[in-house]
Structure 1
């Protein structure tokens, strides 16, 4: 039973940390983009904003899962979580470079733009999670 309790405590700490990281990521990502994701998603029911933002969050969560899986301490998890966050922001910047007018396209509900951002974000998340392995 003590093993279960220590495992449960580790679960709670890592899960709470991951949820906190996701909240921070959402705040940072929405500041970096030129469009207002929440307004587009909630008020305009924009599929493209939802796909782009959801794909970005999924890519970040994949990288966080890799960080949780491959780290042995909370400080190490925090460092790799920050690396994952920066990686996703850089990925978004590269997606914007490759697709001029990306924010405008998402505001206009262009699904191709949203799928592009989601694919770049998920790819970056998968690659960064794999690179975190020892």
Structure 2
């Protein structure tokens, strides 16, 4: 019984970190979808695979460093700060990519998968690097 009680003592911190992570994820996705001229949700409902690939990769690309921030933070405030830093880094990647591919949004709207895969790969790659840098 003592082991179970000791194990469950981590439930409150888990709920705090997990709840905060979900809020940060929703905040990131809200900002991400505002940065793009596309209505990704409508495109996905219309079976646009290109939009689905990019939006899914944005979720994953941000979730990876967010998980690293949760695992390496010293407290909840530290987690929030590094989660916000990770989000800004991921959003910056999209803005830089858009500079090199100015028609990316139009191409995604048309369902062009090649540019979507490239942006998706970049989002996940930068997310992994971002996560590695949030270790101390």
1:31 aligned onto 2:34: yes
| Structure 2 gap segments, 5+ residues each | none
**Displaced runs of 4+ in structure 1, greater than 4 A?**
none
Matches within 5 A, 1:46-65: 46-65=48-67
Cα deviation, 1:4-50, whole Å, max 9, x if unaligned, reads 222111111111111111111111000001111111012x1100000
Check the 8 A contact 1:95/1:116 in 2, yes or no: no
Deviation at 1:2, TM superposition (A): 4.0
Aligned to 2:124: 122
Cα deviation, 1:37-66, whole Å, max 9, x if unaligned, reads 111012x11000000000011000001001
Aligned to 1:67: 69
**Rg larger in structure:** 2
| Structure 1 gap segments, 5+ residues each | none
Deviation at 1:100, TM superposition (A): 2.3
**Which of 12, 16, 21 pairs up with 1:18?**
21
TM-score of the superposed pair, with normalisation by structure 2: 0.93
Which whole-Å CA distance do the structure 2 matches of 1:26 and 1:132 have between them? Answer: 20
Q: Secondary structure at the match of 2:53?
A: helix
Cα deviation, 1:65-121, whole Å, max 9, x if unaligned, reads 010011010000000010011011001011112222000000000001111111111
Aligned to 1:132: 134
TM-score of the superposed pair, with normalisation by structure 1: 0.95
Cα-Cα RMSD: 1.0
